[in-house]
C-alpha cells in the first residue's frame, strides 16, 4: 500500500519546565529585545501573571478578557496596544486571554508569547476566534500563532478540579477531532493519539488530587501535543458543533466540548474503525476480542468522561430543546464536507438531542 500526504508543522518555540515560567519569560523578552510589553491577564489571573512577569518591565497591564473575544473588546485592546507602542504581547491565562492576544496580533502583527494556565491549547494553534452578535467567526492566520509558549505546570495547580477536568477533555477533543479533520494525516494522528494517551492517564490523577504537579505536567504536555495535532489537522465536525453552541447560544467552551465529544465520536467512529481501535487503545480501554472498534472507542471515551465526573447534558449548560433546530441549521451550514459520514439533518438532530439529554452515546 502506498502512502501519500501533505503535512505542515507550524514553527514555534516551546519552553517547558515546572517552576521556570518567570525565568523563561524574562529570558525570552531579553532574547527578543522587546521594550514595550503588554500583559493580558484577567483580574483573577493577575497574581499569577505578576509572579510570572516579576523580571519583566511591563508597559501596559490589560485585564478585560471575555470568552470568545467580542469584536469591540478586540478593538479596544488593539487601540490600547497602539497607543502604548507595544512591541510584545504576553498573555497569561486560559484560551480567552490567548484569544485576545491573537486578536491584537491579527491586525497589528505584534508577536505573542503565551503562558497558558489551562489545557485549552489555543497557544499552539494559528486559529483565531471572535464573536460579533451571536456569530462566532474563526480563521487561520500565522500572525496569531504565539512565537513562543512558556509552559509551567505550577501555574495550573490553582485550576479547580471541575474546570481542570473539562479543560482536559477540551484537549482530548483536539485529539479525537484530529482523527478525521480536513487535513488529518499520519503525522498529526500520531501526535493526537499520543496526546490522548497522556491525557487519559493524567486527568484521573488530577481529579483525585488537584495539587498533583507531576500529573499536571503530563496534562500540559498532552494538551500541547493535542493542540499541535489540531492545528495541523484542522477543525473537524466536533469543533464546528462547539463553535455553533458557543457563538450562537453562549454555552461555556470547555464543558460544552466535554458533553458533545462522545456523541460526535459515536457518529464518526464506525466510518474510521482502524483509527477508532487506536483511540480505544490510547484511552487505556482497548477493544476486547471480537468487539466492534467503534463501540470500544465510544465506550472508552464515555467511560473516561463518566469516571472524571464531567458534565453530560447540554441541558445543564443552558441549551434547550427549542434550540436544537437552529443549532442543526447552523452546524450543517458550517460542517466540513470531508467529514467521514454525511452530516444530515437527522444525524445532527439525533446527536444534539442525545447531548442535550445526556443519553449514553453509542455508534449509530
For ligand NAD, what does the binding mask look like between residues 276 and 315, x meaning CB under 6 A? ----------------------------------------
The yes or no reply on residue 216 touching ligand NAD (CB under 6 A) is no
Judged by CB under 6 A, the stretch of 11-19, 56-64, 96-104, 335-343 that binds ligand NAD is 96-104
DSSP label of 336: -
For ligand NAD, what does the binding mask look like between residues 237 and 266, x meaning CB under 6 A? ----------------xx------------
Cα torsion angle, 349, 266, 99, 313, sign: positive
Residue where the block lists cell 494538551: 223
Separation CA 187–CA 5 (nearest Å): 9
Q: Which is nearer to ligand NAD, 8 or 360 (CB)?
A: 8
In the list 12, 148, 156, 188, the residue contacting ligand NAD (rule: CB under 6 A) is 156
Q: How many CB atoms lie within 10 A of CB 336?
A: 18
The yes or no reply on residue 188 touching ligand NAD (CB under 6 A) is no
Q: At its nearest, how many Å lie between ligand NAD and the CB of residue 314?
A: 17
The yes or no reply on residue 234 touching ligand NAD (CB under 6 A) is no
Judged by CB under 6 A, the stretch of 41-49, 176-184, 260-268, 355-363 that binds ligand NAD is 41-49
Q: How far apart are the first and last CA of the chain?
A: 30
Is the distance from CB of 170 to CB of 254 less than 8 angstroms?
Answer: yes
In the list 25, 38, 149, 155, the residue contacting ligand NAD (rule: CB under 6 A) is 155
Nine-digit cell string for 132: 460579533
Residue where the block lists cell 467567526: 137
In the list 67, 107, 137, 154, the residue contacting ligand NAD (rule: CB under 6 A) is 67
In the list 24, 148, 167, 188, the residue contacting ligand NAD (rule: CB under 6 A) is 167
Q: Which is nearer to ligand NAD, 43 or 320 (CB)?
A: 43
Q: Which residue is nearest to ligand NAD (CB)?
A: 95
Burial of 116 (0-12, 13-18, 19+ CB in 10 A): buried
Q: Which is nearer to ligand NAD, 129 or 270 (CB)?
A: 129
Q: Which is nearer to ligand NAD, 41 or 299 (CB)?
A: 41
Contacts (Cβ under 8 Å, ≥6 apart) of 150: 15, 21, 24, 25, 28, 52, 113, 114, 115
Judged by CB under 6 A, the stretch of 76-84, 89-97, 175-183, 191-199 that binds ligand NAD is 89-97
Separation CA 245–CA 158 (nearest Å): 27
Contacts (Cβ under 8 Å, ≥6 apart) of 182: 233, 234, 235, 236, 336, 338
Separation CA 247–CA 137 (nearest Å): 8
Q: Which of 101, 115, 216 is nearest to 161 (CA)?
A: 216
In the list 40, 110, 120, 261, the residue contacting ligand NAD (rule: CB under 6 A) is 120
Q: At its nearest, how many Å lie between ligand NAD and the CB of residue 140?
A: 9
Which is it for strands 37-40 and 58-62: parallel, antiparallel or unpaired?
parallel
Nine-digit cell string for 155: 501555574
Is the distance from CB of 181 to CB of 44 less than 8 angstroms?
Answer: no
The yes or no reply on residue 99 touching ligand NAD (CB under 6 A) is yes
In the list 89, 127, 191, 299, the residue contacting ligand NAD (rule: CB under 6 A) is 127
Q: Which residues bind ligand NAD (CB under 6 A)?
A: 42, 44-45, 67-68, 93-97, 99, 117-118, 120-122, 125, 127, 129, 155-156, 158-159, 163, 167, 170, 253-254
Amino acid at each position: 500500500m502506498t502512502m501519500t500526504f501533505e503535512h505542515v508543522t507550524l514553527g514555534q518555540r516551546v519552553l517547558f519546565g515546572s517552576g521556570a515560567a518567570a525565568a523563561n519569560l524574562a529570558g525570552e523578552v531579553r532574547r527578543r529585545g522587546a521594550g514595550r510589553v503588554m500583559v493580558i491577564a484577567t483580574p483573577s489571573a493577575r497574581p499569577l501573571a505578576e509572579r510570572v512577569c516579576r523580571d519583566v518591565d511591563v508597559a501596559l497591564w490589560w485585564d478585560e478578557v471575555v470568552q470568545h473575544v467580542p469584536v469591540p473588546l478586540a478593538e479596544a485592546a488593539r487601540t490600547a496596544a497602539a497607543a502604548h507602542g507595544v512591541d510584545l504581547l504576553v498573555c497569561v491565562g486560559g484560551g480567552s486571554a490567548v484569544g485576545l492576544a491573537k486578536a491584537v496580533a491579527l491586525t497589528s502583527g505584534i508577536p505573542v508569547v503565551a503562558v497558558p494556565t489551562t489545557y485549552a491549547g489555543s497557544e499552539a494553534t494559528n486559529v483565531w476566534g471572535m464573536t460579533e452578535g451571536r456569530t462566532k467567526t474563526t480563521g487561520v492566520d500565522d500572525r496569531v500563532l504565539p512565537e513562543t509558549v512558556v509552559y509551567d505546570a505550577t501555574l495550573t495547580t490553582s485550576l479547580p478540579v471541575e474546570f481542570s477536568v473539562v479543560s482536559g477533555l477540551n484537549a482530548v477533543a483536539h485529539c479525537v477531532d484530529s482523527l478525521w479533520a480536513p487535513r488529518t494525516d499520519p503525522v498529526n494522528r500520531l501526535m493526537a493519539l499520543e496526546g490522548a494517551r497522556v491525557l487519559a492517564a493524567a486527568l484521573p490523577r488530577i481529579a483525585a488530587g488537584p495539587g498533583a504537579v507531576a500529573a499536571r505536567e503530563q496534562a500540559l504536555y498532552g494538551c500541547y501535543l493535542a493542540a499541535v495535532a489540531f492545528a495541523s489537522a484542522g477543525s473537524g465536525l466536533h469543533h464546528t458543533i462547539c463553535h455553533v453552541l458557543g457563538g450562537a447560544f453562549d454555552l461555556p467552551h470547555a464543558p460544552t466540548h466535554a458533553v458533545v465529544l462522545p456523541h460526535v465520536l459515536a457518529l464518526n467512529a464506525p466510518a474510521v474503525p482502524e483509527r477508532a481501535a487506536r483511540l480505544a487503545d490510547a484511552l487505556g480501554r482497548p477493544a476486547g476480542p471480537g468487539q466492534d472498534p467503534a463501540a470500544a472507542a465510544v465506550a472508552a471515551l464515555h467511560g473516561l468522561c463518566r469516571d472524571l465526573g464531567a458534565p453530560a447534558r447540554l441541558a445543564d449548560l443552558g441549551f434547550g430543546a427549542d434550540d436544537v433546530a437552529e443549532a442543526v441549521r447552523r452546524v450543517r451550514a458550517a460542517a466540513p464536507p470531508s467529514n467521514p459520514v454525511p452530516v444530515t439533518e437527522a444525524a445532527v438532530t439525533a446527536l444534539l438531542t442525545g447531548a442535550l439529554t445526556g443519553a449514553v452515546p453509542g455508534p449509530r
